[in-house]
Structure 1
Amino acid sequence: MKELMVNNLSFIGSKKTYDEADIVLVGVPLDLTVSFIPGTRWGPSAIRTVSEVLEEYSPTLDKDLREKNYYDWGDVELPLGNVSQSLQRIEEVARKIVLDGKKPVFIGGEHLVTLPLVKVMAERHPGLAVLQFDAHADLRQEYLGQEYSHATVMWHVNQIIGRENLYQLGIRSGTREEFAYARENTRFYPEMVLEPLDDIVKNLQGRPVYVTLDIDVVDPAYAPGTSTPEPGGCTSTEILAAVKKLNELNIIGFDLVEVCPLNDPTRHTAILAAKIIREALLGWY
Structure 2
Amino acid sequence: MDRKDFDPDGVGVDNGNYFGFPFTEEDARLVLLSVPWDVTASYGGGAAFGPDAIIEASTQLDFYDPMSPGAWKKGVATVPIDYSVQDRSARLRPDAKKIMESLQEGGIAFEDYLMPRRLERINTASAELNRTVYEAAAERLDAGHVVGLVGGDHSTSLGLIRALAEREPGMGVLHLDAHCDLRRAYEGFDYSHASIMYNVLQEAPGVAKIVQVGQRDYSEEEYRLALSSPRIELFDDFSLCGRRFAGETWNAICDSIVVRLPEKVYVSFDIDVLSVEYCPSTGTPVAGGLTFNEALWLVDRIAAAGRRIVGFDLCEVAPAREGTTDANVGARVLFRLCGMALKTN
Normalising to structure 1: TM-score of the pair?
0.90
Label 1:65 to 1:49 Cα distance change in 2 as closer, same or farther (>3 A): farther
Q: What fraction of aligned residue pairs are identical, expressed as a percent?
A: 32
How do residues 130-209 of structure 1 correspond to structure 2 at under 5 angstroms?
130-159=173-202, 160-161=204-205, 165-185=209-229, 186-191=232-237, 192=240, 194=250, 196-204=253-261, 207-209=263-265
Q: Distance in 2 between matches of 1:99 and 1:163?
A: 19
Give the one of 35, 58, 69 matched to 1:63.
69
Decide which moves more: 140-149 or 68-77.
68-77
SS in 2 for 1:107: strand
Q: Distance in 1 between matches of 2:206 and 2:68?
A: 37
Q: Distance in 2 between matches of 1:12 and 1:93?
A: 21
* RMSD, matched Cα: 2.0
Number of residue pairs aligned between Structure 1 and Structure 2 = 275
Other-structure match for 1:260? 318
The answer to whether the aligner puts 1:224 opposite 2:288 as a matched pair is no
The answer to whether the aligner puts 1:111 opposite 2:178 as a matched pair is no
Q: Distance in 2 between matches of 1:65 and 1:164?
A: 28
Instruction: Name the structure with the higher strand share.
Output: 1
Which amino acid is the alignment partner of residue 18 of structure 1?
Answer: E
The answer to whether the aligner puts 1:278 opposite 2:343 as a matched pair is no
Paired residues of 1:246 and 1:284 also in contact (CA < 8 A) = no
Normalising to structure 2: TM-score of the pair?
0.75
Other-structure match for 2:271? 215
Give the one of 12, 29, 32 matched to 2:36.
29
Which 5+ residue runs of structure 1 have no aligned equivalent? 1-7
Q: Distance in 1 between matches of 2:72 and 2:338?
A: 11
Displacement over 4 Å in runs of 4+: none
Paired residues of 2:19 and 2:59 also in contact (CA < 8 A) = yes
Deviations 1:107-136 (A, max 9, x none): 110000121111111111110111100000
SS in 2 for 1:280: helix
Which is higher, the Rg of structure 1 or of structure 2? 2
Paired residues of 2:311 and 2:341 also in contact (CA < 8 A) = no
Decide which moves more: 164-173 or 9-18.
9-18
Deviations 1:228-277 (A, max 9, x none): 101111122222322322223211100000011136x3211221111112
Q: Distance in 1 between matches of 2:233 and 2:225?
A: 11
Which amino acid is the alignment partner of residue 52 of structure 1?
Answer: T
Q: Distance in 2 between matches of 1:66 and 1:131?
A: 22
SS in 2 for 1:144: helix
Shift of residue 65, structure 1, vs aligned partner: 5.7
Label 1:105 to 1:162 Cα distance change in 2 as closer, same or farther (>3 A): closer
Q: Distance in 2 between matches of 1:134 and 1:87?
A: 21
